[in-house]
A and B are shown apart, each in its own frame.
Chain A
Amino acid sequence: MALEVTQFLLNAQSIDAATRNHAEESLKQIQEQNLPAFLLSLSAELANNSKPIESRKLAGLILKNALDAKELHRKNDLAQRWLSLDLATKTQIKTSLLQTFSSPVSDARSTASQVIAKVAGIELPHKQWPELIGSLLSNIHQVETHVKQATLETLGYVCEEVDPQVVDQDQVNRILTAVVQGMNATETSSDVRLAATRALYNALGFAQANFTNDMERDYIMRVVCEATQSSDVKIRQAAFECLVAISSTYYEKLAPYMQDIFNITSKAVREDEEPVALQAIEFWSSICDEEIDILDDYRSEYTGDSDVPCFYFIKQALPALVPMLLETLLKQEEDQDQDEGAWNIAMAGGTCLGLVARTVGDEIVPLVMPFIEENISKPDWRRREAATYAFGSILDGPSPGKLAPIVNVALNFMLAALSRDPNNHVKDTTAWTLGRIFEFLHGAAVETSVITQENCQQILTVLLQSMKDVPNVAEKACGALYFLAQGYEDEGSVSPLTPFFQDIFQMLLFVTHRVDATESNLRTSAYEALNEVVRCSNDETAPIVMQLIPVIMLELHQTVEAQKLTSDEREKQNDLQGLLCGCLQVIIQKMGSIEGSKYAFMQYADQIMDLLLKVFASRNATVHEEAMLAIGALAYTAGPNFAKYMPQFYQYLEMGLQNFEEYQICAITVGVVGDLCRALEDKILPYCDGIMTQLLKNLSSNQLHRSVKPPIFSCFGDIALAIGENFEKYLVYAMPMLQSAAELSAHAVSQDDEMLEYTNQLRNGILEAYSGILQGFKSSPKTQALVPYAAHVLQFIDTMYGGREMDDAVMKSALGVLGDLADTLGSHVGPLISQSSSSKDLIEECMVYDDPLIRESAEWAKLAINRAVSG
């Protein structure tokens, strides 16, 4: 009963909008009226060799989109919808799809491959379509090359789509055998060989068992290495991609092959075409990633151990690897620093060199220094740039003790190069290197900073001067200033930057106004540098920071007044507003933290608030986030005085809470509600009905991103603490919500770390809500209203305690709630708590806990409970 859809599919690609819209509308109607028939028609269309390729391709695409979506909720819905279709329809569709393999039209085959993979992604985990792999593999011995190719491609897609666990080892073996055979040099068709190599890339995750078998592993590795020598560049690239994937998936199995791989990669880096050479470099970067992780584990895990041992491949390869990478640095492209999309051998090589430095530390220094010394003053700019880039790349990794003497010598040279080198590329890299010097060799954490009171002035002069240079150089100079300022964060009132604050602000503001400030991200960098200088400033410079406020406000004012902008201008305007709000946030936070400045700052509060309200009129998500953050900071600084802004601000608060789409805004707004509670205390009461209504709505919505829900529970606690017994009227709504969430989270089985973390966040939010509510009601005549909920709260804690998956934060919050129950409800709950044996054990257990904060909470809880039980 296939419907005739060809015309609609063709029309849907028409250049005429009316035709297109009509066709799309019709397709949508058909889908809504009869989904099975619609999907059948699409699969029939795709399989039908007599149909135009355009309609076949679109049919496949719509089919694919009917099976999968990026957004997780939708993805699950679509999978459920497919599973609930009747068996006959599904079988028929799948048969059509497999038939398409024999089509001579490669686009049709390729589209069918992708759709098959999506169906497999849904069905295989449910143990459906068990014959798929078998029937695919039965094609592998077909003579026709295109069928073979399509089969291998499909196998690759299937492997990409499904979890390795859902495929039997027996089938895995057969897939791998087919794929590796397809890659073999004896395969005459390079299309087949390429498809096989790409399929292996996806199938590697399935080969766990095979990689533990020496013979099988040797075989796979040999085939991959041979493929890197193919005459077809695409095959060579795909083979190196496999090597890269193997390097991270099977790092611990690589030792026997490293010598060969080094030879292969170094030849490719030196001689092969760029896409291949880039993958060869990537292999070493990936090995660095692995070893950095392992060595981190050695240093940081409680066991001081790692699942995988470090084989120190990089250390061993170092004497040959470093010269190879240094050579790549000389292969720069002109203007690569102005081109955002640029990625070439020199960039990849330098990035890899940086990773090598982080892996081996001090050992890299003597290997790189001769290169730097030889090239840094050469007339050829490529040599100077390569030398500088090499220097900048090795600043993270080696010990400051090793680097400081070199940097002390190099610093003046770098400053001179930044101000005088004729080449922009060299200056760009020099400014970046200076930034790295400040990041890694300067600051409170570094024993002897390379920056002294004396050279600081010279450094600043050069950096500020460079901010007038071309945008990419100026941007790097801003970044360098950022790290320079950060290094003085804990310096107290003796920061050497203090005398230059005026100059710094003046120059950074000048940069933000450059006509070319949108190039190379320059404006953003200038504002970020400004923010960091403010953030790391001290009491002494507070008056100068204060002077920034009217300047920033004026700029913000101009952006809100601007009229009639093109969409392009509008976008730039939004970016700028976001930056200005961010800057205000930092300044407000700074001024609020300095007792002497707070009062002087408050004279600007009205105007700032006025501006922020106007900014909320903008519909841009980023701007809203920034403005909300600024409001949060302002609320803390203003305290109860913020009440006067509430009537106007409230609508935006509500808007933020309703923004499910841009859930980050919703999350930030929930946080701001908490800020307001602490700032306003009971003055927030008039707005609580509205806020609580919205928060309860948010909790019951399954559209809202789950990460916002734990903060909402915490927010209940904030509100209750602010308004005390006035929270009574919300109990009847909030408590059941808390109870059911508690129920859910207490019994949650966490398969993975991410889920476990979320569960703990949720528990923590719930406990914070309980604590806030209990403490909010303390000493109120209405505490009785809470007594009925006590049993459930205790049960929640008991269950979590029994489950043994609480993290420290949850443990601490749980202890707090136990104490709060006793503290607020006293003898009403004394017997209940006494019966809750596990809670008693929990407290005892925590009394001897290592974390002093947890012990403290336990002691407090114990004391409160003792009082309640005895009183």
Chain B
Amino acid sequence: MPPSPSPSPSPPHQPRRTPENARKKAYKEQADVSNGRRRREAQLLQLRKSRREDTLSKRRRDDASSPSTEPEPDIGPARPESDPPSSSDPPPLPCAADADSSKLLGIINGLKSENISLQLEATIKIRKILSVDGNSLAEEVITSDVVARLVELLSSKKNPRGPQLQVEAAWALTNITAGPSEHTEVVTNAGAVPKLVKLLESPRSDVREQAMWALGNIAAESQRCRELVIDHGGLVQLLSQFNEHAKVSNLRMATWTLSNLCFGKLPSNSQTKAVLQILQQLLNSIDEKILSDTCWAVSYLCNHGTDEIQMVIESQICYLLVKLLMHSSPKVVTPVILALANVSAADDCQVQFLIDSGILQCLPKLLTRNYQKCIKNQACMTVSNICAGTTAQIQAIIDAKMVPLLIQLSQRGETDIKKEAIWAIANATSGGSPDQIRSLVGDGCIIALCNALVLSDADLLYACLNGLESILKVGEMEKMKDEAGTNPYAVLMEECGGLDKLENLQGFNNDAIFEKTIKLLESYWVEEGSENEAPKEPSPDDT
């Protein structure tokens, strides 16, 4: 053999001689079984390591002078903000925000690799880039192929770190869907919805939770998105999350996501009923977050029409809602009153359900105590809706001693509440029986309505004029009993300056108001003494 010209520069790769014994071991190997002790030891070592770290970090934090030394925890997603249907933003996390575009390229390569560690690392980085508002890299990340890859990673398979990757990928998508509509569209176009729905079957609660969050964000986007989620079985899967084994954090997320889905009309009544069945159970929850989102869901459903309201009533939810009006947290009370306000706008029978549930015992408290304006506003609107109901319903308002309260609010309340109070008074006076009107006048309704005649809201003005008309009609009836033969209510109006305001309305640029004003002036004041000019619709019972 000739001598070799090239001496070997690198140490040769020694043959890995697999001795026959090693091969024999591989025969019908049940690998783990034969190695129990070493495995148990390894488990204990792992436990030991983490406890040692716990002890140390506890000490490191143990320092009153430096409360800020506790590192920002890099844990799972924080709860979404509860203002559905707007999408939620996860909190900004410590992040490699300084990564520049070239770094991004590396991340994207990692994402596309076939190696799960690299995928995971890259996904975490992307998720963090996305979690910082206004990160210039975010736009670069949200390209269709990155998103498509993230969507692919949602179905990571057999690997111990697979679930972790699923969580991270879903988290990244959650962050994207928290952004503008066009970002969410990239995600839905990449086919994320069916895969996220599939994740709801995962045995791991963290995976399910993150998938729900992403779906919740998507559902918040548009009716089309909600239908997309529902069409892929998202609603059914979501409802199955509510079981006795579920963790509170999962229930919270599921409830939030459900509420977002309820924001639009559900495709079928049977779905609505199934949802309501769950919501009815959730209304007994003691968790404020769950309660709040449940009530939001109900309030959205009540927004969709009388059919939905009827189903809400039939699922025995009204009574529970009314009870929750007295809940200590405004986060619960707000959606509750919104839901009830919607019901109060429905038909008379449905409104009667509200009254029977005892709402009138609660509303005065809402109106008089220190609640947020929007709660008071909705409460007041509920009252005004009830006032627009039957005489029996108006009577219930009177019996609940709410009229003086309304009058008070109509004078001193904040603008919106003031208006609602006036609406309530106008409705009650327009629809009340003569006796009820007398009672209402006795409480000061004429002044309240007359003061409202300076407002610029045409609908409300018209309602006030209607109310005053009813009052004046009853006044005509009084006139007959009155020896002086005057309409006492017309007199009252003059005394409080109402007539002047009425006359001013002749200049109001609205035909209906103009005509109503002229009619009132002509009927009750113009050409005083002329008996011929008696009101055209004098029948007092004609209500």
> A residues within 8 Å of B by Cβ?
164-165, 169-170, 173, 176-177, 180, 204-210, 212-213, 215-216, 219, 244-246, 248-249, 278, 282, 285-286, 289, 298-302, 304, 337, 343, 347-348, 350-351, 354, 392, 399-400, 428-429, 432, 435, 440, 443-447, 476, 478-479, 482-483, 486, 490-494, 521, 524-525, 527-529, 531, 578, 582, 585-586, 589, 622, 625-626, 629, 632-633, 636, 668, 671, 674-675, 678, 714, 717-718, 721, 768, 771-772, 775-776, 778, 816, 819-820, 823, 848, 850, 852, 855-857, 859-860, 863-864, 867
Q: How far is the CB of A709 from chain B (nearest CB, A)?
A: 16
Since A248-B17, A678-B52 are in contact, a sample of 7 more A-B pairs with Cβ atoms closer than 8 Å, ordered by chain A residue number, is A208-B10, A343-B23, A476-B28, A528-B36, A622-B37, A775-B56, A855-B94
CB contact list, B128-178 vs A, under 8 A: 155, 157-160, 162-163
Partner of B6, one of A180, A213, A285: A213
Check: B543 CB closer than 8 A to any chain A CB.
no
Q: How far is B67's CA from A867's CA once the two chains are assembled, in angstroms?
A: 12
Q: How far is B12's CA from A246's CA once the two chains are assembled, in angstroms?
A: 12
> B residues within 8 Å of A by Cβ?
1-8, 10-18, 20, 23-24, 26-28, 30, 32-34, 36-37, 40-41, 43-45, 47-48, 51-52, 55-56, 59-60, 62-63, 65-66, 68-69, 71-72, 74, 94, 96, 98, 113-115, 117-118, 121, 124-125, 155, 157-160, 162-163, 202-205, 245
Closest to B7 in A: A169
Q: How far is B41's CA from A582's CA once the two chains are assembled, in angstroms?
A: 10
Q: How far is B30's CA from A428's CA once the two chains are assembled, in angstroms?
A: 13
Closest to B5 in A: A213
Partner of A494, one of B32, B40, B204, B245: B245
- Pairwise interchain contact B16-A289, C-beta atoms closer than 8 A: yes
Q: Which residues of A contact B94 (CB under 8 A)?
A: 852, 855-856, 859
A432-B30, A492-B205, A674-B52 in contact; A216/B115 too (CB < 8 A)? no
Q: How far is B62's CA from A776's CA once the two chains are assembled, in angstroms?
A: 12
Q: How far is B48's CA from A86's CA once the two chains are assembled, in angstroms?
A: 53
Q: Which residues of A contact B36 (CB under 8 A)?
A: 524, 527-528, 531, 582
Which 8 pairs across A and B sit closest by C-beta, in order of nearness?
A208-B12, A479-B30, A177-B1, A208-B8, A209-B8, A775-B59, A856-B71, A169-B7
- Pairwise interchain contact B121-A850, C-beta atoms closer than 8 A: yes
- Pairwise interchain contact A492-B96, C-beta atoms closer than 8 A: no
- Pairwise interchain contact B55-A678, C-beta atoms closer than 8 A: yes
- Pairwise interchain contact B12-A164, C-beta atoms closer than 8 A: yes
- Pairwise interchain contact A285-B52, C-beta atoms closer than 8 A: no
Q: Which residues of B contact A819 (CB under 8 A)?
A: 60
- Pairwise interchain contact B16-A248, C-beta atoms closer than 8 A: yes
What are 21 A-B residue pairs whose CB atoms fall within 8 Å in the complex? A164-B12, A169-B8, A173-B1, A173-B4, A209-B8, A285-B18, A299-B115, A304-B114, A304-B115, A343-B20, A429-B28, A440-B158, A447-B155, A447-B158, A490-B163, A528-B32, A625-B41, A629-B37, A721-B55, A816-B56, A864-B66
- Pairwise interchain contact B30-A435, C-beta atoms closer than 8 A: yes
Closest to A168 in B: B7
Q: Which residues of A contact B2 (CB under 8 A)?
A: 173, 215-216
- Pairwise interchain contact B13-A249, C-beta atoms closer than 8 A: yes
Closest to A494 in B: B245
Q: How far is the CB of B4 from chain A (nearest CB, A)?
A: 5
Q: How far is B202's CA from A636's CA once the two chains are assembled, in angstroms?
A: 32
A299-B115, A304-B113 in contact; A864/B204 too (CB < 8 A)? no
Q: Which residues of B contact A531 (CB under 8 A)?
A: 36, 40
- Pairwise interchain contact A860-B40, C-beta atoms closer than 8 A: no
- Pairwise interchain contact B56-A671, C-beta atoms closer than 8 A: no
- Pairwise interchain contact B48-A674, C-beta atoms closer than 8 A: yes
Closest to A350 in B: B27
- Pairwise interchain contact A629-B12, C-beta atoms closer than 8 A: no
- Pairwise interchain contact B30-A850, C-beta atoms closer than 8 A: no
Q: How far is B41's CA from A432's CA once the two chains are assembled, in angstroms?
A: 26
Q: Which residues of A contact B4 (CB under 8 A)?
A: 169, 173, 209-210, 213, 216
Q: How far is the CB of B93 from chain A (nearest CB, A)?
A: 9
- Pairwise interchain contact B18-A671, C-beta atoms closer than 8 A: no
Q: Which residues of B contact A493 (CB under 8 A)?
A: 245
Q: How far is the CB of B425 from chain A (nearest CB, A)?
A: 57
Q: How far is the CB of A838 from chain B (nearest CB, A)?
A: 22
- Pairwise interchain contact A300-B37, C-beta atoms closer than 8 A: no
Closest to A855 in B: B94
Closest to A400 in B: B158
- Pairwise interchain contact B11-A165, C-beta atoms closer than 8 A: yes
Q: How far is the CB of A534 from chain B (nearest CB, A)?
A: 11
- Pairwise interchain contact A164-B11, C-beta atoms closer than 8 A: yes
Q: How far is B33's CA from A675's CA once the two chains are assembled, in angstroms?
A: 27
Q: How far is B27's CA from A245's CA once the two chains are assembled, in angstroms?
A: 21
